[in-house]
Chains A and B, each alone.
Chain A
Amino acid sequence: MSGFRIATGGLVDRGKPVNFTFDGKRYQGYAGDTLASALLANGVKLVGRSFKYHRPRGILSAGSEEPNALVELRGGAYREPNTRATMAEIYDGLEASSQNRFPSLKYDALAVNDLISPFFAAGFYYKTFMWPAKFWEKFYEPMIRRAAGLGRNAGLSDPDTYEKITEFCDVLVIGGGADGVAAAREAAATGARVVLCDENAPLAPVELPGGVKFLPRTTVFAVYDGGTYAALERLTDHLPVSSAPRQRLTKIIAGRCILATGAIERPMVFGHNDKPGVMLAGAVATYISRYGVAPGRNAVLFLNNDDAAGLIPLLAQARVGIAGVVDSRLKSTDLVYALAREAGVPVFAGAVITRAHGCQSVKDAEIRLHNGTTLRLPCDLIASSGGFNPNIALTSHLGGGPVWDETIAAFVPGKLPPGMEVVGKAAGQGINVNIQPCWHVGAFPGKSFVDFQNDVTVKDIRLANQEGFSSVEHLKRYTTLGMATDQGKTANVNALAILAEVTGKAIPETGTTRFRPPYTPVALGALAGPHKGKHFRPTRLAPTHEFSQAHGAVFVETGLWLRAQYYPRPGEDWLAAAQREVNTVRNHVGICDVTTLGKIDIQGPDAAKFLECVYTNSWTNLAVGRVRYGLMLREDGFVMDDGTTARLGEQHFVMTTTTANAGKVMQHLEFCSQVLWPELDVSFISVTDQWAQIAVAGPDSRATLAKIVDAPFDISNEAFPYMGCAELTVCGGTPARLFRISFSGELAYEIAVPARYGNALAAKLMEAGAEFGIAPYGTEALGIMRTEKGHAAGPELNGQTTAHDLGLHKLLSKKKDFIGRALAARPALTDASRPTLVGLKPVDGVTVLRAGSHLLPVGAAATAENDQGYVTSAARSPSLGPIALALLANGPARIGEQIRVYDPVRNGDTLAEIVNPVHYDPSGSRLHA
């Protein structure tokens, strides 16, 4: 054979050679090879360095349980650290490099750690690095952090795309081996919809009936409640580059599940069992039969069960020499003797390998025979088998713990997730034939590794126990055993058994292995799926979005909405634009999209009664055609939301909410109606998206609207006074709703039309208002004007304020029950010394006040004891200069006094005068024009 590739056999496609590099060196393999099988075929044994001691490491396994052969795959932004070479399918041009070594894999400077390893015993860092105190952050920790981790993240935005999909089925079969395929066929025969997942690439074609959806390269990595399973499908990881999605997160909803995941072999624990060339016996068999690769030329087999004996004829067929079979069982079995005799190899019964010798790979195995003598067998491959562990990680994801089966010396499934059954080797059938446990060979010199990746040895387990960390949970945390990227798949059971021996307890007494999702590591990008960048969350556009765009609007996120923030003209920054827009509204007319505020259409014989329940004030006495401000509390008495509600008919209201609380208020109304007052005959629905609503504000607003409202509607002040509402048509027949309400404090209206007419209505209004100098205005101008008018909005309705705080206590009816009535009456919520709404103006008239500043008495020290409140909203009014709204202890009683506005995080510290929060037109005369 050439290299270590066997002349014939295996499932790789020898007609398709594949070129790849490892640590810069070129190699060739075949399509179907993993990086591990291809490296082994090329005689590469050294593939990595261990985490703590930087010991040379080779390939241990042939599957996803691999602890050693972790490489960095690809380059640039595509770099994937910590990739298992045993799972990475090679493709032309694949570039892989080893990790955690400097300057090279062969000559790693930090291998010195191995020599001074006694100083790095488990938990050593808890006992030192404390002095001098400052050195921890300056030196010790940065040193530790640089040594930690194995691979390097590229530090660049992940360029791949990921998909998400949901599969529904009657039966999910996990594991595409013989047991799984049989289970899938059986289930499909009953007519069930079946999904079959296997984590490996399909090297050999599988015959499956039509009712089975086969997902290869798919790892079911988690079990969740309600028959929900999470799976990761590797779509293009085996291809050079692809514009197709890299991976797919498949959520599988299954009526029931069959776990056919087989069993994972556990290694024998002996001195220097981590040396390259020491492999799991089953893995050696897999490399021979699946990939046509012999991982060595001269092997020693070390086992304690009959399962592994099947490797003997395989090695012989592959023309690999067998120096001997070391069987830790006192009397080996007939099977072993028969197979060994056939192959012409010696059996050493009742013997153990005490140590693997060799520099950077195995050169010979030191064996202690039953009679106590020592023997050294030259070899370049040690195939060890300590038995098999049923692969039942998924059975414990919902909390059930596996149970110890003494007869096969393995954990088998305990309490299963609802709907799951386990079959085949995963259930403990047909494994560990005639096993006699040999958890570790005894106290001989040479580190005996239990957890390879985290460099945890038998000695560490003894030390942890000596220091009182004698439970499995404590052991794991103290030694970090089982916490590496392989999640202890080849370590956990050995560790538990060794701990049991060390503490003198039986295994069941010592504990159990419990697993958490994910079964194997999953890229965060796959869990995020397509929801990244601009697609992280949906974007809601107002029905006048195109209009605003055409007018040069700058947009701002308001929750999920994009709202026009301001409409800058050439040369204007945001402030100039906003102040111009304010002046236009106050002197002429402006339009602003207010669609995003929640709108809820409420109808029914008990509609008014329902409003009485949810609002603090009265509603049954609101006349048809009138609008009223409403205050809504939470049941704990604090303010939830406010808005205006219009009575369009005897049994017809339209409620508005703030933009931010629209969904929350809707949910609340549903709760009140369905749960608290189901006897009330009322129906309601959100119409926020159904109606485009535009504020038309300013002294010329009526004249503007008059041009578009259809006869016979009379928009005069007498016929349609302040706080009126009506249904009408506009622009020659378009249905509309008109509300004479004002957030700006000017003569103003809000007009609503079906949403699809939003842009058209805006255009018509601009046309109608052109002679008056109409302009669109955005949220900045809106904010300035409502601050000028002292209207509470989001910053004041912050969930910590009460009706009393906002000066709205007069709206709390004394006559009826409403949500929040009882608890709002608590003295702590009505106390006047609470921070209460006031206005502020800088004493010097020019210093900008900022929301978030705190308020202190003038001349008092800047300490918490003197903290009397905070600024909630601030604006730079074109007519009044800088103004603010604030919550100040005893506020209304202090109007006329001065207060210190303290904002150290933005270097602000100025004096302000406490004023009426209604800075502009306090009498409200402009509203009634």
Chain B
Amino acid sequence: MRITCPHCGPRGVEEFLYTQDASVTRPTDGGAEPTKEWTDYVYMRDNFKGPRKEYWYHSAGCHAWLVVTRDVSTHEILKVELP
């Protein structure tokens, strides 16, 4: 699998680290209480088939965090953008 980093060009997947789903957004209420919004943000996921937005980190390259739209059923990479 190869990911096209906007800074570095097409690179092998071994240069990158996947961490988490990019469709979840950190709550903006300041985090005073451990609400359901917070625990959902940290723990609950859709995990569907098909295209999905993921956070990938170019750890062996420019250290950019990328939002990669990738089909998790075929591994086809549809889009790579900066956050």
Contacts and interface: CB of A to CB of B under 8 A. Distances in A.
A and B from one assembly?
A: yes
Given A675-B65, A823-B34, A825-B33, A253 B2 contact: yes
Contacts of B27: 822
A671 B75 contact: no
A615 B74 CA distance: 39
A636 B42 CA distance: 7
B64 A674 contact: yes
A667 interface: yes
A228 B2 contact: yes
B1 A822 contact: no
A821 interface: yes
Nearest to A820: B31
A159 interface: no
Nearest to A822: B31
B77 A226 contact: yes
B31 A821 contact: yes
A675 B31 contact: no
Given A253-B2, A667-B17, A821 B59 contact: no
B35 interface: yes
A27 interface: no
A225 B1 contact: yes
Contacts of A667: 17, 19, 57, 59, 63
B32 interface: yes
Contacts of A573: none
B59 to A, nearest CB: 6
A675 B76 contact: no
Contacts of A909: none
Size bin of chain A's contact surface: 20 to 34
Given A228-B2, A823-B42, A674 B35 contact: no
A822 B38 contact: yes
B65 A670 contact: yes
Nearest to A686: B63
25 contacts: A225-B13, A225-B75, A226-B2, A226-B12, A226-B13, A226-B77, A228-B12, A399-B74, A635-B26, A667-B57, A667-B63, A670-B63, A670-B65, A671-B55, A674-B65, A675-B83, A816-B30, A817-B31, A821-B30, A821-B32, A822-B31, A822-B33, A822-B34, A822-B38, A825-B34
B47 interface: no
Contacts of A446: none
A816 B30 CA distance: 7
Contacts of B33: 822, 825
Contacts of B17: 667
A210 interface: no
A922 interface: no
Nearest to B75: A225
B2 A227 contact: yes
Contacts of A817: 30-31
Nearest to A684: B63
Contacts of B64: 674
A676 interface: yes
Contacts of A821: 30-32
B1 A226 contact: yes
A341 interface: no
B15 to A, nearest CB: 12
A226 B15 CA distance: 14
B34 A826 contact: yes
Contacts of A825: 32-34
Nearest to A824: B34
B36 to A, nearest CB: 11
Interface in A240-260: 253
B33 to A, nearest CB: 7
Interface in B61-76: 63-65, 74-76
Question: Considering residues A398, A818, A822, which has the most beta carbons from chain B within 10 angstroms of its beta carbon?
Answer: A822
Nearest to A814: B32
Contacts of A822: 27, 31-35, 38
A418 interface: yes
B7 to A, nearest CB: 12
A648 to B, nearest CB: 22
A224 interface: yes
Nearest to B20: A671
For the complex of A and B, the 10 pairs showing the least CB-CB separation, nearest first, are A822-B31, A226-B2, A225-B1, A821-B31, A822-B38, A674-B65, A225-B75, A817-B30, A226-B1, A675-B83
B30 to A, nearest CB: 4
Interface string B15-47: 001010000001100111111001100110000
Contacts of B76: 225, 418
B55 to A, nearest CB: 7
Contacts of A636: 42-43
Nearest to A677: B26
Given A225-B75, A670-B57, A817-B31, A635 B19 contact: no
A227 B1 CA distance: 8
A678 interface: yes
Given A226-B1, A227-B2, A823-B34, 12 more contacts: A225-B2, A226-B2, A228-B2, A635-B42, A667-B19, A670-B63, A671-B65, A676-B26, A818-B31, A821-B30, A822-B27, A823-B42
A36 to B, nearest CB: 38
A667 B66 CA distance: 12
A399 B76 CA distance: 13
Interface in A805-827: 816-818, 821-823, 825-826
A676 B57 CA distance: 14
Contacts of A816: 30
A826 B82 CA distance: 33
Nearest to B65: A674
A635 B31 CA distance: 10
A826 B43 CA distance: 14
A823 B1 contact: no
Nearest to B63: A670
Contacts of B75: 225-226
A253 B2 CA distance: 9
A639 to B, nearest CB: 15
Contacts of B1: 224-226, 228
Nearest to B27: A822
Contacts of B19: 667, 671
Contacts of B55: 671, 675
A674 B2 contact: no
B32 A674 contact: no
A637 B82 CA distance: 27
Contacts of A228: 1-2, 12
Contacts of B30: 816-817, 821
A635 B27 CA distance: 12
B83 A674 contact: yes
A514 to B, nearest CB: 16
Contacts of B57: 667, 670-671
Nearest to B26: A676
A225 B2 CA distance: 7
A881 to B, nearest CB: 43
A538 to B, nearest CB: 12
A676 B19 CA distance: 14
A674 B57 CA distance: 11
A823 B42 CA distance: 9
B26 to A, nearest CB: 6
Contacts of A253: 2, 12
A667 B63 CA distance: 8
Contacts of B2: 225-228, 253
